[in-house]
Structure 1
């Protein structure tokens, strides 16, 4: 009962968080999972289901990643976000990318895939300028025709905030992406 009283709907917990309020944490976790009060996401990671009119809601991505990494310095997004740029990407992706400073690899939580990538720098929030640089950084991973995407990006360059785009290229672009932007004469003509 002590463990159950500390649980909050929608919150993600690590085993060690709950061990602080339990003298038999593994037994209590098993009982709470069996009762449906807790759902197991991965080894040592649990969440309290939040109910809606449509049934149980999955945990919030930010809450989940914060608990998993034990850190709040990360950026979560879907590659489907590239579609809003209007550069010819239309694919819907069933994965979530997490740029962070700690973990690298594919992790499953419940029935969802998260692609953790260690990056030295990433913004706090998604911007269209960052996404434009990132779509070129990740061009080889796209399902779309790469040459068509490149042509669309080059055509759309003048529509972006040039100062923000120049900062995004300088801060977040890989060497190959920087060369591509230079080939488009971005640094002198467009900035």
Structure 2
């Protein structure tokens, strides 16, 4: 069977709106070049659409016109590689989802340690952000909390008191092993994040060994600007948070 015929037969069995790549089509390494050309011809004919490089979908047509796959499906193309998560959404898009801001961003920030993620999902531009550790599916919940601490001064419309309430609530729900993981990842973040995390853990009477690690990792003569005083956070002064 010709590569083109093989691809067409596979595509016929794919639902409209589903995103697929070379793996889905079952192409061997020897068939990739011919397969790429065949897929380009199918794109030109309007049979399929290109979602991003190496990924395609069958367009779904409704009474409202042609519909693209759901945004979360398209976004997942930038977050996963070989079914493993290697990046996560951060920035205003994340803080909106967490209920910390009502602002809807004009772009999506995606953080990854190993590469700069750029692209487009619908009309939304994807911009790269920095991850301080290797991203996995299991550590994203910790990185999101640490990102809130990192960006606490710049999250749109967020009152510091509300931000601290949110952080305390999330940390309170963590058990001891989760707190340990949070600290382990937190040590990789900038000093101001380590200081705020330590101050929160101390204020919440968490296991003392957890925040001692953070205390040793920051310069005792440095101060960290958050606009937070001891009224908002009782331990702010002892961690040089101002």
Fold conserved between structures, TM > 0.5? yes
Of residues 170, 183, 202, the one that matches 1:188 is: 202
Secondary structure of 1:24's counterpart equals helix
- Provide structure 2 residue ranges, at least 5 long, that are not aligned to the other structure: 207-242
Residue 160 of structure 1: SS of its match in structure 2?
helix
Tell me which residue corresponds to 1:12.
Answer: 20
| Larger Rg belongs to | 2
The answer (yes or no) to whether the contact 1:133–1:177 under 8 Å persists in 2 is yes
Q: 1:63 to 1:159 in 2, by over 3 A?
A: closer
- Residue 58 of structure 1 pairs with residue 69 of structure 2: yes
Match of 2:45 in 1: 35
Larger relative contact order, structure 1 or 2 (CA cutoff 8 Å, min sep 6): 1
Q: Aligned in 2, Cα 1:153/1:33: closer, same or farther, shift over 3 Å? A: same
CA contact under 8 A between 2:60 and 2:68: conserved in structure 1? yes
Moved more, 1-10 or 15-24: 15-24
Please state how far the C-alpha of 1:134 moved relative to its aligned partner: 1.6
Q: Per-residue deviation at 1:176?
A: 1.8
Aligned counterpart for 1:46 among listed residues 44, 55, 71: 55
- Deviation of the 1:151 alpha carbon: 2.9
TM-score under structure 2 length normalisation? 0.57
TM superposition score normalised by structure 1? 0.68
The number of residue pairs the alignment matches comes to: 182
Aligned partners of 2:145, 2:181: CA distance in 1, in Å? 9
RMSD across aligned C-alpha pairs, in angstroms?
Answer: 3.7
Deviations 1:126-145 (A, max 9, x none): 54x65332222234664x15
Do the aligned residues in 2 keep the contact of 1:50 with 1:56 (CA within 8 Å)? yes
Deviation string 1:30-60 (CA, Å, 9 cap, x unpaired) is 3201222221244x42311352745423361
